[in-house]
Chains A and B, each alone.
Chain A
Amino acid sequence: MTVLLLAVLAFALAAVALTRRRLLWGVAVLGAHSLVLAALYFALSAPDVALAEAAIGFGLVTFVYLLAIRRTGRIAVAAVECRPLLYPEGEEVVGLVWELLELLAARTHRELELRWVERGEVEGLLSSREADLAAGDLVPSARETAFPRVPLLPTRIVRVRRGKGPLGAISGSREAERLPRGGRLFPRRGELLEALERGELGGAVVNLLELRSFYLRGTFRDAEIEPLEDADFVVLFAPDEGELAEALREIMTELREKGEWEELLRRYL
């Protein structure tokens, strides 16, 4: 009877361990599986094997796996640079989104690991799970709406036209999908801005924050602006990171209830 119980438990734990998505969970459950196996050996009158399994299979093997995969205790962030939301300042990273991410890391007891990426890389990084979440200058494109997401700020996508010539947008973004035929794509916002200033483009499809940064630099003072659609800046999560998204949603609700969200907005925008 004991043997049957232990056998069912051992098989169930192994099945659970091997169907996890997160490596850390797999290793932890497999450790429990090893311990149950040790008890089973004892019940099958093999105390020598039970002792070896408990000391080596449960102790050392679990330790070795944990040491090898220690990096999975971090949140890998794919960051798309965007002034006031998420941008480097000297050696530091600052911005509205960065404050949120730090709260998220504190709540989930994990460390942040930031990597600056181009807008077009986001979808690939998330679907291959090389990044756990992506944030910054991020209005989800039609394909990216499949990922779990938490909306942060309402914005609007607008078409700005200043003269003759093709329109430009940042490749991979929602804005690029609203670009009329014959438009030109740029990997980074800086290059789009340079092309505009050189006069190669007759305008651009951008979101409100980009429009603001163009205004601040003096481009587009006398352009005609036509709104295309309302959208949100979001934080996008890898497909299996629903729990992380839930944690961020809770943080946002709490901030709104305490009124600290308005203060953050005032500080950065």
Chain B
Amino acid sequence: MKRALTIALLATLLGILLFGLTDLFPPAEVRPWAEMARAYGAGNGVASIVLGSRLYDTLLEVLVFALAMVGVRYTLKPLGKWREPVVPERGVVREMADVLLPVIIVFAVYLAASGHLGPGGGFPAGAIAGSGLLLLAMAKGIERLSRELHEGTLEPLEYGTIAVLLVLGCLSIPLNHRGSGLLVVFNLLIGIEVTIGAWVVLHYFASHRGEI
């Protein structure tokens, strides 16, 4: 019974997917997006959709992202901390981290700030900044980095970012305010949010890791 159901499900899925190959539904005409992008002050069609016509979708997605991070915090916290091995003062890694980190952060900020003009935007920028923090954590030891970052202040900052994003988003559509400036602010805020989220995940996985 279970097996038959599985096969039926997979066959249905295959059937649906194969429609992509048939000529029954020819690819739709690409709707002219350049006009719309210009109206939102963007040069990138994808950015004008993500931060313009489908803004609520994106904002709620950021909310889901933040909720998942809250879930990670509350699932891993009761496991107790792993005794962190002493990080040796590895010369090469630390020197490289000191040199590379500013470059990585500048690149991330550039990606976020120019996301409305070219490829980029807040999501990849946040992920890149988060990876930069991980590099630093490898060089310094994760607990020490966490103390230096003032872990306690990160959580309010994260929730504050979300609140500002939601308020801005909810106000911008009824007030019909559009423009490049707004998109840059959105991208930067999303970048901050994703950076903090990535840091939370990496930090909690590294220090509360159970037996797996």
Contact = CB atoms under 8 A, between A and B. Distances in A.
Are A and B bound to each other? yes
Interface of A: 47-52, 54-56, 59-60, 63-64, 67-71
Contacts, number: 56
Contacts of B127: 52, 55-56, 59-60
B128 interface: yes
A55 B131 contact: yes
A71 B82 CA distance: 12
The binding surface of chain B is classed by DSSP as: helix
Contacts of B202: 63-64, 67
Interface of B: 44, 46-47, 111, 118-121, 123-125, 127-128, 130-131, 134, 198, 201-202, 205-206, 209, 211-212
Nearest to A42: B119
A48 B120 contact: yes
Contacts of A59: 127-128, 130-131
A153 B205 CA distance: 43
A52 B209 contact: no
Contacts of A48: 44, 46-47, 119-121
Given A52-B123, A67-B205, A60 B212 contact: no
Max chain B C-beta neighbours (<10 A), residue from A54, A60, A64: A60
Contacts of A60: 127, 130-131, 198, 201
B212 A55 contact: no
B188 to A, nearest CB: 16
Given A60-B198, A64-B201, A70 B128 contact: no
Contacts of B46: 48-49
